[in-house]
């Protein structure tokens, strides 16, 4: 792959527009998050990330931003500032084709910039309590972000991965669950919604790993990776959490021994077998502390879980009203 930008003409209008949008969108996002009064880790705290992001994307940024006014924000010598080695592909060596896990690609900063028009090594977006490190794109839309929470003295402790992606229209009309066995991510999981899994692999897997792995390497003070997902964004983060825990030993990256993962999902349907979720609870530890499955009401997403009381306790299920 040609991972270079030889001149300004190759810095396309689309990349320029995405870069400016990401900066303005992202700065306002973390400013608003810092203004939230409740910083204690409660349901309201998790929901504030989702509500703030949904409010941001409801605004028509294409019409609001005078792109010519902000063109000077685009730095010079991008290729030099993002200079790095080529993309790294990690292959699991313990399995024989076609039964092996799908190789993991860690993209260079320049590759990421060319895909989404942003990289934190070019510009640092800061607010009182958060620093923004990445925007998460799905096709041409921003669907989430990655930021670091700052403690007193600017020390980073929490890494937040937030994704909001509504289910497609008519998603709940097909009530029939057809089990599909998949071994691309872990040895074998059962999944009911192949398209969701395919979207994760195609659009999100590499970008999430690229950002998260690089941030954890650069900031050893980070102790918690907190994943917050709304609707299908919750499914993507269920997959990502399972994925990174299963494959972290193959990445040749030293994670902190006391690094913990937390998963909050809101209005997220059950798209895998119960075995998948049982494994997820086991990997994360005490579900009361590590996993929270929230529903705004007893809605279509809630109905897919077919709960009984023991399952509610196991997956730490909360219905808000």
Spatial CA neighbour of 227 closest among 118, 147, 137, 115:
147
228-258, pLDDT tens digit by residue? 999 999 999 999 998 888 877 777 677 777 8
Query: pLDDT-based confidence at 225, cuts 50/70/90?
Result: very high
Higher pLDDT, 255 or 43: 43
Helix boundaries (H) for the chain: 13-35, 43-57, 61-64, 78-81, 109-116, 194-199, 205-218, 232-247, 274-284, 287-290, 300-303, 309-314
Q: Is the pTM of this model over 0.85?
A: yes
Across 8-22, 34-48, 55-69, 137-151, which has the greatest mean pLDDT? 137-151
Spatial CA neighbour of 162 closest among 46, 295, 22, 26:
46
8-18, pLDDT tens digit by residue? 455 677 788 88
Write the burial class of residue 242 (CB in 10 Å: 0-12 exposed, 13-18 middle, 19+ buried): buried
Contact 3, 87 (CB under 8 A): yes
116-154, pLDDT tens digit by residue? 888 888 888 999 999 999 999 998 889 999 999 988 777
Across 22-26, 143-147, 278-282, which has the greatest mean pLDDT? 143-147
Residue 222 has what pLDDT? 92
- Is 3.40.50 the CATH number for 8-319? yes
């Amino acid at each position: 792959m040609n991972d270079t930008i030889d001149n300004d003409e190759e810095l396309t209008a689309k990349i320029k527009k995405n870069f400016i949008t990401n900066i303005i969108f992202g700065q306002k996002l973390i400013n608003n998050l810092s203004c939230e009064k409740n910083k204690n880790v409660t349901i309201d705290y998790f929901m504030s990330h989702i509500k703030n992001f949904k409010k941001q994307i409801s605004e028509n940024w294409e019409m609001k931003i005078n792109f010519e006014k902000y063109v000077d924000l685009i730095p010079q010598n991008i290729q030099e500032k993002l200079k790095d080695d080529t993309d790294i592909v990690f292959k699991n060596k313990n399995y024989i084709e076609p039964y092996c896990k799908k190789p993991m690609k860690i993209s260079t900063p320049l590759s990421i910039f060319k895909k989404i028009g942003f990289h934190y090594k070019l510009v640092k977006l800061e607010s009182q309590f958060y620093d923004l490190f990445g925007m998460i794109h799905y096709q041409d839309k921003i669907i989430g972000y990655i930021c670091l929470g700052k403690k007193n003295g600017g020390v980073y402790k929490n890494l937040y991965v937030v994704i909001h992606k509504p289910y497609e229209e008519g998603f709940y009309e097909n009530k029939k669950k057809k089990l599909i066995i998949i071994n691309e991510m872990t040895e074998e999981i059962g999944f009911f919604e192949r398209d969701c899994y395919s979207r994760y692999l195609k659009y999100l897997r590499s970008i999430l790993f690229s950002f998260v792995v690089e941030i954890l390497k650069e900031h050893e003070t980070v102790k918690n990776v907190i994943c917050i997902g709304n609707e299908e964004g919750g499914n993507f983060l269920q997959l990502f959490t399972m994925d990174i825990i299963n494959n972290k030993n193959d990445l040749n990256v030293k994670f902190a021994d006391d690094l913990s993962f937390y998963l909050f999902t809101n209005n997220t349907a059950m798209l895998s077998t119960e075995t998948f979720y049982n494994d997820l609870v086991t990997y994360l530890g005490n579900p009361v502390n590590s996993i929270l499955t929230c529903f705004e009401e007893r809605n279509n997403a809630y109905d897919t879980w077919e709960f009984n009381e023991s399952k509610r306790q196991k997956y730490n299920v909360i219905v808000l009203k």
